[in-house]
Amino acid sequence: MEEKLRKAHRDLKEKRGPGAEYTGWLSLPGRIDKAEYLRVKAAASRIRRQSKALVVIGIGGSYLGARAAIEFLFTGAYNERSLDAPRVYFAGNGLSGKQVQTVLELLGDADFSVLVVSKSGSTLEPALAFELFLERLERKYGKQGAADRVYVTTDAKKGALKARAVREGFETFTVPDDIGGRYSVLSSVGLLPMAAMGADTDGILLGAYQAMRALCEENVQNPAWRYAAARNRMYEQGKKLELLSIFEPDFRSLGEWWKQLFGESEGKEHKGLFPVCAELTADLHSLGQYIQEGERHLFETMLDVGEDRAPTRVVPGEDWAYLDGRSFYEINRQARLAAALAHADGGVPNLTVTLERADARGLGWLFYFFELSCALSGYVLGVNPFDQPGVEEYKKNMFALLGKTGGQDRQRLLSRIAERESQ
């Protein structure tokens, strides 16, 4: 794979590959807009002062990275913390009326702010949610008071949301023109909600910068090269799925971010590995049987952490005296090694990505590592890892069925649906 990776890396750095206009993330950690970053920090402080809750509205790359970071750093129970930070709720990432109603109920009478993240402002899911929460803000604080509690991350110059933000006086932050949504976590898209929750965004950016410097080397010892090579080699050998196995529940949303990054980047032209995520050891008691003895069309990437995040030790018991004095971390790590051996013996090749420390700097490193690996892997696969043409197909059908694009299109789709149902 060496020559393919060398070409992929040079095409990426020299902006010669497909989608080169969306590779701004590659150098982003070294060229952060300092003025905007200071505004991000100021807005985060204001949110923390004025609100007991923050509603983050966005879909796909507009929210997955921020949610992954918050859970990674503060655990999945982030809203139960007794720290000086607002509760955070995510909305606009689907069309479930129950979901938005639940968030409205959880807000109750608490003071809250809204952060909406959308490049264009025309994506249906966040647009509908934004109207709902803006109405609640305006009823509670009046139009001007509501405007002081709305924060918008969108295109720098154009789009429906940008125009509305200017018209109504919402504070705005920028989705960079040269960075697509799934690569935007280290921009204001991810940094503002992280900062509002009290995350060490300086540490995250430092880790990403260190990764950028370390992973620029064009050689086979580069971890991003090794991961991209392994993925493509497995694909060439007939594997169809990549299973990301995590061993900490707090990494679930990181797995969701990873799934979008690789699935949307490589799944085109009838190519690409299907990315799935499992939480072990819990899923060893559900998916474990399939992983061990099901169809041999998958390989596994295990995410390991090289430090004990919470030194909880086993309470002595008669049936597990051999574990007396050991930490859960040590036992969990042995379980990972045992699963790696068992799965390899069962015909599931696996590799391990080891994160030295699960802190802000480590998270920044991991974000950048996966982004670079994904871009390299996509170029080796022979696709443009920065577009997503297939995402629009369901939207065309949905808008036609809802009557937006004319009765003729709607009638045609209704006929097709009736035909399918009759079969």
- Contact by Cβ (8 Å): 280, 291: no
Contact at 8 Å (CB) between 279 and 273? no
Tell me which residues are annotated as active site: 264, 285, 395
Q: How far apart are CA 193 and CA 187, in angstroms?
A: 11
Other CB atoms within a 10 A radius of the CB of residue 407 amount to 9
**∠ at Cα 283 (279, 289), nearest 5°?**
140
| C-beta of residue 91 within 8 angstroms of C-beta of residue 125 | no
Measured at the alpha carbon of residue 111, what is the angle toward residues 82 and 96, in degrees to the nearest 5?
Answer: 90
Residue among 25, 67, 62 nearest 254 (CA): 67
Which residue do the tokens 């065309």 mark?
A: 396
User: What is the distance of C-alpha 31 from the center of its chain?
Assistant: 22
CA-CA distance, 254 to 246, in Å (whole number)? 9
Element (H, E) at 17: none
Cis peptide before 281 (omega within 30 of 0): yes
56 bridge partner residues? 90, 115
Q: What angle do CA 7, 177, 149 make, to 5 degrees?
A: 140
Strand, coil or helix: 396: helix
Q: Of 12, 9, 32, 33, whose CA–CA distance to 22 is shortest?
A: 12
The span from the CA of 374 to the CA of 267, in Å, is 12
Query: Coil, strand or helix: which one is 92?
Result: coil
Does residue 17 contact residue 11 with C-beta atoms inside 8 Å? yes
Cross-strand bridge partners of residue 355: 305
CA 233, 234, 240 angle in degrees (round to 5)? 135
Contact 126, 59 (CB under 8 A): yes
